[in-house]
Structures are given as C-alpha cells and as structure tokens.
Amino acid sequence: MLDPRYVTENLDEVRERLALRGFDDPTVLDRLASLARERSEVITEAEQLRAQRNDVSKRMAQVDKKSEEFARTRDEMRSVGERVKVLETRKDEVEEELNDVLARLPNLPHAATPPGKGEADNPVVRVVGDRPAFGFEPKDHVDVGNALGLFDFPRAVKISGTRFAVLRREGARLERALIQLMLDLHADAHGYEEVWTPVLVKDSALRGTGQLPKFGQDVFRIARDEGWTQHDESGAQHDLYLIPTAEEIFEPGELPKAYAAYTACFRSEAGSYGKDTRGLIRNHQFDKVELVRFCEPEQGEAQLEALLGHAEEVLKRLALHYRVVQLCSADMGFGAQKAYDIEVWLPGQNAYREISSCSWFGDFQARRAKIRYRRAADQKPRLAHTLNGSGLAVGRTLVAILEQYQQQDGSVVVPEALRPYMAGLPRIERSKV
C-alpha cells in the first residue's frame, strides 16, 4: 500500500505517476483528493484546538477557581474537548476509508522504470544464447509430450476439469528434477534459506502482499463450515485462500535476507478464457520455486539485479535460449515499482514466453504486512523493502526443455544439469511398455 501521508501531501505527483501505469479512474482519484483534504483539515483543527486548550489551561492556573471567569472558561474548554473527540473519531473514519482507497491503488513506478502503454513498449535488456536450429518443423510441447507418453490430459479433465494436467513417467520425474535443481542452486550457490510453507493462507497475508482486494477473482477461496475456522490472536475470523504465489522485524545486520521455497500455486485465471488452453502454459495448478528478498531501501536496486541474475542462472545451467525485458510503467504487476521479465524461447510457438517476473516493491508490501528493520538496536524500526521473483516457473521450464531439446525422431535430450536428478538419463524416448 502507498504511504498515506506521501499521497495526501503530493496528490498531483501521485496522479501523474499513476497515469504512467494507465490508472486514471477519476472517481477513485477525486475521492482520494477529497479524503486527503478532509484529513488535513480535521488534523489541523484538532491541533489548533489542543493548542488553544493548553494555553487556556495555563491561564486558568492563575485564575481564582471560585470566580465566574474560571467556571465560564472551564465550560468552554469542555466544549473544546468534546469537539476534539469528535474530530479524532472523524479522523479515524477518514483514514479507514482512505486506506481502503489506497489498497486499490497500484504502486508508483520507480524513476528507472521506462514509461509505456503495454507489453509492446517493454525494452529488451539482453538476449542470451542462440535460438536452437532444427532440420525439421519443431512441434509444441503438447505434441512432443503426448507422443512420449509424458502427459495424460484426458485423465486430468476427468478428475479435476480443464486447465489441469497429469504428468507421467519421465514427465513427472522431469518436473521433480527441475524443482530439486532450482532449490539446490538457490540454497547452495546463491545463499537463499530454503523454507517450506503452507498452501493455505489467511486473507490478511494476501492483503499484505497486495493480492487482495485487487486480484480477488484470481485466487481460490476455501469454503468453510462452522466446524473449521481460522482465527487470529484477537479471535477475529479469517478466510483462507490457496496461495497464488509463496509481521516481522529484522534486527541490525540481518538484512539483506533471502528465502527460497517450492510452492504449489493455484490461480483461477479469471478473465483469461480462451487463452493458452493447450498444454501447461496457463493452468489452475502449477509449480514454482519462489525467491523472496528483504533489504534496506538503499539496497533495493542492487538486490533486484541480484535476484534477476539468480533466476537467469537456472536457464544458463539448462542451456535454454531466453531474453530479459524490463517492464514499462503500464505493464508491471500491481505492487511493483521496477520489474523485469525473463522470457524463454518456445520454438513450437515461435515466440518468447514469460518464465519469471522479478519485481522490486519498495515498501509497498511492507507497509501493510508490517515488515520492518532496525539499523541500530536503539533506533525505531523502519519499513523494509521487499522483492520477489520466480526462480523459475517449473511447468514452463519443462515446456521449454521439451520444445528446445526435441529431436527429429521424437525424443528429447535431457539437459546435462538435470541428468544427476534423472538417474543419469540422457534422453527421453517413447516407452516400449
């Protein structure tokens, strides 16, 4: 969430920077301006009345307590006190509504984020490796995998419905091998602390990361009965959601901090009807190895570059051709202020497809989630900066391997980096069983 004070004190600048993101809802912005003005007016009046009350209290100390002047002034100050209470109540109401409006506003783009209206305006930062050359017409991953007996989409539809997949034999093993390779690389070579997390999270966690309320249609909410509920420390009841992706104070010297986790992810894909319905590109359930970093504000940009490099290293180890693009202002995710996409080449589609998005959120997530740090033991905690990225999306990595490593005889060469996780298997061929 954006800083309420910064927004209210810099409304014109906020309007301009939100416009760069394509956000120009006049109703929301006008309401924001109205609330900001009222908040300022309420605070100013309350401060003036408190100052007046303090001054009068000092004078009353020198007035005869039995005099008419004392009684009259005391009554006036009681009225002032009641007015201050009314103003404090109204301030809380205004700030609650202001926070609700702010929760629906995206992050402001960083100065280093290029302006643009959409995907076509994303500049290419670099292209890594050569496109694989084929002496035949390359197939897409569905045809390759089906021919090798790696997929069973009919069974997935029967047990779960559309946009789900069943992986079989070497297909299932390849998925597992990719997860192990990524976790080993990030934990051992890149210094991430590996964690394993629940796939069900409270609504408060999704609000902290910015998934709610903006992307409420994209996540799966778990229906509960009266016998199964979740409550916080205060006894408040919470909705539970399947994670769409995977309050703390860091003490001096702890930052930067990095975590890596394998997560099974779930998305409803609301609004994507008819898009990428074939194969593994856009399913309701998918695997990711997620990378999360926390840092001090001054470290943010360098930490983003480090995160990006760690995600790229997976593709380099697998010798897959890809490119990196920087997302323009209107194409970034809701909470990002600067972001990169890694796009892997899929010869079966003759196109680059996103395989990782690495984002720097500034203090946007930390404000609601109360993620803070201390620079010194005797200093007040400050908001940390958060970053995250996929290292990588496992299913799409599997897709890229099937398409980039396919052979004319229908087999698929296993990248050397994966062979130790595949019992040394050099090539996936059609099972004779």
173 in the same domain as 65: no
Task: For residues 85 and 29, state if they share a domain.
Answer: yes
Q: For residue 218, tell me if it sits in a domain.
A: no
Pick the range with the lowest mean pLDDT from 57-66, 79-88, 174-183, 346-355: 57-66
Q: Residues 17, 39, 173, 267: which is the catalytic one?
A: 267
Q: What's residue 229's pLDDT?
A: 53
Residue with tokens 């924001």: 32
pLDDT score for 346: 96
pTM given for the model: 0.83
263, 329: one domain: yes
Whether pLDDT at 133 is above 80 = yes
Residue 204 inside a domain? The answer is no
- Active-site residue, 354 included: yes
Residue 375 pLDDT more than 60? yes
Same domain, 38 and 184: no
Task: Quote the number of domains for the chain.
Answer: 2
In angstroms, the CA 367 to CA 384 distance is 9
Query: Which of 168, 354, 375, 419 is labelled catalytic?
Result: 354
Question: Domain boundary at 102, 134, 168, which?
Answer: 102
For 127-166, b/e burial (b = at least 16 CB within 10 A) is eeeeeeeeeeebbbbbbbbeebbbbbbeebeeeeeebbbb
Q: pLDDT tens digits, residue range 53-77?
A: 887 777 777 667 777 777 777 777 7
How far is Cα 326 from Cα 339, in angstroms, rounded to an integer? 6
Residue 233 belongs to some domain of the structure: no
Residue 157 structural domain: 119-199+243-428
Q: Given the residues 175, 390, 396, 403, select the one marked as catalytic.
A: 396
The question of whether 396 is a catalytic residue gets the answer yes
Residue 267 annotated to the active site: yes
Any catalytic annotation for residue 40? Answer: no
The per-residue pLDDT for range 258-268, each reduced to its tens digit, is 999 998 777 77
**Residue 129: CB partners within 8 Å, gap ≥ 6?**
319, 320, 321, 322
Catalytic residue among 329, 357, 359, 390: 357
In the prediction, which pLDDT does 206 show? 55
Q: Find the catalytic residue in 83, 176, 282, 374.
A: 282
pLDDT in tens, 263-316: 877 777 655 555 566 777 777 777 889 999 999 999 999 999 999 999 999 999
* Separation CA 381–CA 375 (nearest Å): 8
In the predicted model, what is the mean pLDDT of residues 362-371? 89
Count other Cβ atoms within 10 Å, centred on residue 69. 11
Q: Do 50 and 188 have their domain in common?
A: no
Rg of the chain over Cα atoms, rounded to whole angstroms, equals: 28
Residue found under tokens 């597992």: 176
CATH code, 420: 3.30.930.10
Q: Is 104 a catalytic residue?
A: no
